[in-house]
Amino acid sequence: MTITPEDRAALAARHHKLFDLLRQGNIQAVHLSPALPHPTTPHEPVRVSEEEMFLRFRTEAAATLRR
């Protein structure tokens, strides 16, 4: 599994958005937001499975809520 700089940037942006919503207390918005950003081009393969990314974000969100 190789993560390109573009993938890393998209994941970082998603990560920051998730935690901004959590800090604001807008939990419903977090649950309704998409699990992954869309690929930059239709031909670009997704290198990380959607389920894996969803579980990572969910775990991070749960850890943040416990703090």
Domain residue extents for the chain: 5-37+45-66
Q: Which of 22, 39, 42 is nearest to 30 (CA)?
A: 22
CA 54 to chain centroid, in Å, comes to 7
Q: Note whether 6 and 39 are within 8 A (CB).
A: no
Whole-model pTM: value is 0.35
Q: Which of 33, 29, 30, 35 is nearest to 49 (CA)?
A: 35
Q: Roughly how many angstroms between the first and final C-alpha of the chain, as a whole number?
A: 31
Give the tens place of pLDDT for each residue, 20-61: 777 777 655 555 555 555 555 555 555 667 777 788 888 888
